[in-house]
Structure 1
């Protein structure tokens, strides 16, 4: 789908969507629990729907009821292949879980997912009793049963490898240790996993370089859980507030454990005006200036931060972003290409970008099948005309994105 987004101001109020990352974790815990769980904060994002499909394939029952999801735990009866769509988290979380349950499972992978890194997790699983193979293009077969023991993973590839094992290891009969060979990047996402586990009664004891996970644990449902507002998605709307007219995003918890809440600190470093209360944030435009940003722990913030950099006075360096080359697109290359297409001066770094701020002149952006590149281009329309190819990819995380953008173009409050 191609859209023309004429240059025009963006401003108003946005209700945050439920955190995609937190929902995926809560749904998985609920499917492993001892009784039904009601999950408040339903989402029709493609990644959340992928998790629901795959949990059903493993034998759970997941039904939508308005803005809630009811999850009946996994039974002995599996229901065919697990279609992960393009969701890396779904695959990396459920691969160890299926192995811990002893379920022979075929995972179906789409888009760039078959090419995204899996090697360290694959090797760790095969070293502990699991047999993995690729019987056909876009398929991954998991067989055997995961055995407890000592697991060692690199910390600089994907935090999702750690999360997947943290979900699976409590299900095993014996104790395990999960250690990081190097400090884990995106540590906030592992913290989100540990928080979800605690809500379902699962213990993982911290070690200097990892966790000790007792075996024989049972997931115990708290009855009902609620997903927070999504700081990763909100970052784009907050960036619009720094570039155009004031934007308020509601439903964002000030004390959230989501790492991407640091977008507020980053906005202040650029010079934007930020006001926060218990569950809402307002950002107002102000003269922006370049700065240096390390996104090692918050790589999903790189696209909106890069756009701010392109509109700020001076030069901005974004580093710690090498892992972005293995997202839905080579996201570093896609960010650079999008900004150059709009008239920005961008230089590639080994692990990031150097962006000389100035005036965007407009142009045509290819989303490269990456929802966060499409969102970057959409917010850029606050400063220039944008023609966007592949706009439909926003459905991966926010199917209502274009409706919300239209509300901000008219300056009205957008309800979800």
Structure 2
């Protein structure tokens, strides 16, 4: 089977690339090892409202639950409610959302091959020429001058191609999540609970999906040695609002919260989405970032297709565009993550006492300096920790 591009993985990044490239005239194959798209879910399934306008995303009825803001909680229970474009949006049903992205790409001409596993690269004269695959016990080759890894955290084929996609324990979070029904007090706010006893180097989240239904999960630093399931079960057991709640689905896995990989392209190869660690280091969210990366990569691939030049030099436009759009912002978010993980519970409580919703909005916009100054007035002992943000 011959194509112009082969995409490994039918998640948001893979389908976004496929739709963009196929619409422009490329013959694109998308291979997906799972028989069902959108599984396994490893995140809270939230997408910020500002992405829907910038990416032209649409949420159909039954796919997403509208969110109006975020409620953030200190270890002592103090609440801070924030409402802006980053904290409004939708909590989506990934199984449906991902499938809709794939359907949109298929309608533009992309070819999908579910339950098909990439087992290795095919090379000719030292150049990438496609991938070896297995499907229903049959092994065969699919050929193309361009291979795109949208494999997620595993990134097996990207690593074979020479990309440094292996995350260390410090730069990952271990996550565990229940989708629960019968929860009391669900509002249209995502809830984030901080505290080293609750979630070491992480937080607990409650992402509503209905009046009494929500994703209730936890992410803890991969290097902390903590058991996320035990910590989440403890949080739920101690919170009376979950007394009548029942888990209807279990989700979880490992997510990247570090910096993007060093390079996204080589001759005949591109890496997009979670495989490239294109995620927000604060919360590990990456759905919209993956779609954005997939579309940028698709545009660069079309330029390469027109020239019939799939060299890294030509494909690098994707990397340059993505880093220009998101690199500085995510670098600042990574600095913030590294500061947050140095705070003890007393520090958290003090900070929540001193700042208001307008300060939190500044932090979300990476405008750290005025907020740092405000905190240090009352807690100068945090100078060494916070100065990296200024």
| TM-score of the pair, normalised by structure 2 | 0.25
| TM-score of the pair, normalised by structure 1 | 0.24
